[in-house]
Chains A and B, each alone.
Chain A
């Protein structure tokens, strides 16, 4: 990477930035899930690593969350944008050098931010835990350069049309910058009280709604038609999906605070909008599954499609949960319990991770011109991820229901802790499976870069047979 920082633009091979982002994202995924496994062990075994403040759960939780969101997910997004955006415009990335610098700054900025969180320097606000000066680094050092590269690549495309994926990429990079600037306003302007609470959850909701969800979906709009060779089922449904994300996903932030003394009309509004999140979900799932018509065998045979369609199908329980758990009828029961933790992991570790993994698998093979080193290891990774995640999700959902019952019926707290203990162990087992699977993935992709079969010019990775 370093040799390209000051190289002439024409000396930087196309796809370099995407490759660096791709490998960085996997490394951050290993780190993020490793810390997640460590944190889960602390909840399952209370005597595990005690007496050290910086290794306490309160410090490590934030590092885990931000490492996964800004390290794994967002760097995988950046990787996907840097190879998919130009591909869809039949052109090159607008600035490969900006992309390489962007990747370096991303790794340095994120490392600094996580180090500060680790030391306990934090805003103290969930999801927007990073201190304000790191927020500015994220906006101006990480997201804005990425946005400029995406927008300029779309602007300088050599096609007349703009494919659905690039609508999402262009819009999401713009929206996430607004989300970071507005959502962190409580820190910039010392806002407190209810305003701070609302802005905190406005940020948390929209990081998911206007960044992670649409970009993950956009990736699948590329992977499924590209790998199956089928046309996208409907350009029209793409319109419905895109605009319903913008309208219905951007508005229900107040549904995270249904028991707070916000104006009741705001909560009514947010609650209806929260259910309407099902509109983009229905559009997205139906469009992608109908695109698979006649190619369902690839769901078994092809690793990228296996990851993508699994992620797409996870959007169904994700949005059913998300749509209804925020209504007053259900929220009073599950609010503040492990149910929400399970739901958050369904969004980030289930739905979106499977889609990003597909993008990284496909992108690295395409850009390195190397066939995947081992399909067996990739399948091992897939199943470790799926079984590990499912174990986590199911156990935390059950734990959440136990906590909800304990809360409503005023069961003594320690009794609830004892009742949910087996599920905390299951959570740790599931999370650790994910971590181990990711270690194998890193090895597999490293070997792919070093020893994968060379893909001949004019061919695509999924057109060649696996050798291992």
Chain B
């Protein structure tokens, strides 16, 4: 295997080896089938780059979409408000939602995606209050069905060695993706650049 590196965007193969490859490519028919040596059309390259960028962009802003306990904390605090005592569940819930909305809560976009009813709040209320009394960060706890559980994110380490259960910007999944993409691109580029230059086309002999 002869290598050359003076023209990496053209070919990584020595001239004599390329000459042998061209001869074989011209003369050999594989079951009467032949192949051309066209490069990837530039619009297709653009589409591939767009795909890779989109793959991250469409998943990146959705970190931690699962509802967490912190989101519902203001709802739960308002469950004891005197204004809702004696009201029906629907009226009470409408009041709570309106109050939280008026307060400009940071979780409003997520709360809109995860509407709840009074019965839902009753299921998680005691669990959230218990966690709050423990002094833990409620953002680290997810609502899964009727349970409030520690999230399975693997985030930054705290000074005491424990791991934050909040998704960090460097999420391990995305960093592995970047690793995969880099090695994939390198591998495929080496594979195709070992071929004769793309401006050479086989004539396919008599095939």
Contact = CB atoms under 8 A, between A and B. Distances in A.
B48 to A, nearest CB: 6
B28 A161 contact: yes
A268 B153 CA distance: 10
B206 to A, nearest CB: 13
Contacts of A237: 38, 40
B102 interface: no
B10 to A, nearest CB: 13
Interface string B35-51: 11111110010011001
A267 B184 CA distance: 20
B94 interface: no
Contacts, number: 164
Interface in A276-324: 276, 278-279, 282-283, 286, 290, 324
A270 interface: yes
Given A226-B33, A236-B192, A264-B152, A275 B184 contact: no
B105 interface: no
B32 A234 contact: no
Interface size class of A (residues with CB under 8 A): 35 or more
B73 interface: no
A96 interface: no
Interface string A205-228: 000000000000000001001100
B55 interface: yes
A327 B51 contact: no
A162 B55 CA distance: 33
Interface in B142-162: 144, 149, 151-154
A88 interface: yes
Contacts of B154: 263-265
Contact of B177 (A239, A240, A262, A273): A273
Contacts of B59: 268, 271-272, 275, 327-328
A48 interface: no
A4 interface: no
A171 to B, nearest CB: 14
Contact of A160 (B28, B37, B181, B192): B28
B41 A286 contact: yes
Interface in B171-188: 171-174, 176-177, 180-181, 184, 187-188
B34 interface: yes
Interface size class of B (residues with CB under 8 A): 35 or more
Contacts of B144: 261
B22 interface: no
B31 A272 contact: no
Contacts of A87: 31
A295 to B, nearest CB: 14
Contact of A272 (B64, B177, B184, B204): B177
B35 A235 contact: yes
B30 A272 contact: no
A269 interface: yes
Given A89-B31, A269-B176, A261 B38 contact: no
A275 B54 contact: yes
B173 A266 contact: yes
B62 interface: yes
Residue of A84, A268, A329 ringed by the most chain B CB atoms within 10 A: A268
Residue of B28, B31, B36, B172 ringed by the most chain A CB atoms within 10 A: B31
Nearest to A268: B173
B198 A236 contact: yes
A192 interface: no
A124 interface: no
A90 B31 contact: yes
B3 interface: no
Nearest to A84: B31
A240 B40 contact: yes
Contacts of B25: 161
B103 interface: no
Contacts of A163: 30-31, 33, 35
Contact of A232 (B34, B52, B65, B153): B34
Interface of A: 84, 87-90, 159-164, 222, 225-226, 231-240, 243-244, 247-248, 251, 261-276, 278-279, 282-283, 286, 290, 324, 327-329, 332
Interface of B: 24-25, 28, 30-41, 44, 47-48, 51-52, 54-56, 58-59, 62-65, 144, 149, 151-154, 167, 171-174, 176-177, 180-181, 184, 187-188, 191-192, 195, 198, 202, 204
18 contacts: A88-B30, A88-B31, A89-B31, A160-B28, A163-B33, A231-B204, A263-B154, A264-B64, A268-B167, A268-B172, A268-B174, A269-B173, A272-B59, A275-B51, A276-B52, A286-B44, A290-B41, A329-B58
